Structure 1
Amino acid sequence: MKKIDSIARRILGWKLNRWDRWYDYEKGIFIHESDFQPEQNLDHAMLIVDRLQDLGFAYTIKGLSKVCFNDICATGETLAQAITNAAYSIVELSSVPDTTRMWQKLC
């Protein structure tokens, strides 16, 4: 859950409402963790793609299960899993204190 929670909070901007759901302030709705499964659901993964594109990341598909956001690439068993893994890599890289440009995009 750490991976999905990190993506929901840092990329999508959702706030943790309680241990099993987030709140999307932009849409004014609650999202239960069972309603956001980007590793299994391509539509959910595409929400991440749309948000990252809004933040200036270029999305590129390289094969059936490899994607890149700018120069950050990841693979997975499915396209949805690859998107989720790449997004989580962005979150991990933004956690490093010396990546000010990327952090500015995510905040």
Structure 2
Amino acid sequence: MNKTDSIARRILGWKLNRWDRWYDYEKNLFIHDSEFQPEHNLDHAMLIVEKLGMFGYTYTTNGHSEVSFNDVRATGATLSQAITNAAYSIIEKHSSVDSARLWQQLC
């Protein structure tokens, strides 16, 4: 599973409907892989920021290539890449620590 897949499933709560598309139950909408590219599209990355904000994460940025969500920091070549990297770091951090509790919160 790559970063985008992990973020779609574990943060946004989307379900894999087919090998090339997701289903968003909250919006009753199908999203194709090509329509969700958070590392390359800032609007897509901001969906992640919005969702993490709903879970109590505070988003801060330090320019165009560094972001923080509470105590998790990440960098990238662009702001959207930094957001994606930080979100994935949250997933990795909580996967090894109390994963059941976090996923109950996120999903």
TM-score (norm 1): 0.92
Question: Post-superposition shift, 1:55?
Answer: 0.7
Residue 45 in structure 1 maps to residue 39 in structure 2: no
Question: Post-superposition shift, 1:102?
Answer: 3.8
- Paired residue secondary structure (2:89): helix
Question: Post-superposition shift, 1:64?
Answer: 1.6
Mapping 1:2-13, distance limit 5 Å: 2-13=2-13
Which structure exhibits the higher relative contact order, with contacts defined as CA atoms closer than 8 Å and separated by 6 or more residues? 2
Report the aligned-residue RMSD: 1.5
Unaligned 5+ runs, structure 1: none
1:43-73 Cα shifts (integer Å, max 9, x gaps): 0000000000011000000122000000001
| Partner Cα separation in structure 2 for residue 29 and residue 51 of structure 1 | 16
| Partner Cα separation in structure 2 for residue 105 and residue 59 of structure 1 | 18
| Partner Cα separation in structure 2 for residue 30 and residue 98 of structure 1 | 31
Tell me how many residue pairs correspond in the alignment.
Answer: 107
| Partner Cα separation in structure 2 for residue 65 and residue 73 of structure 1 | 11
| Partner Cα separation in structure 1 for residue 13 and residue 98 of structure 2 | 21
| Partner Cα separation in structure 2 for residue 29 and residue 19 of structure 1 | 16
Residue 35 in structure 1 maps to residue 35 in structure 2: yes
Question: Post-superposition shift, 1:84?
Answer: 0.3
Unaligned 5+ runs, structure 2: none
Structure 1: which amino acid aligns with 2:18?
Answer: R
Percent of pairs identical after alignment? 70
| Partner Cα separation in structure 1 for residue 94 and residue 62 of structure 2 | 23
- Paired residue secondary structure (1:95): helix
Question: Post-superposition shift, 1:105?
Answer: 2.8
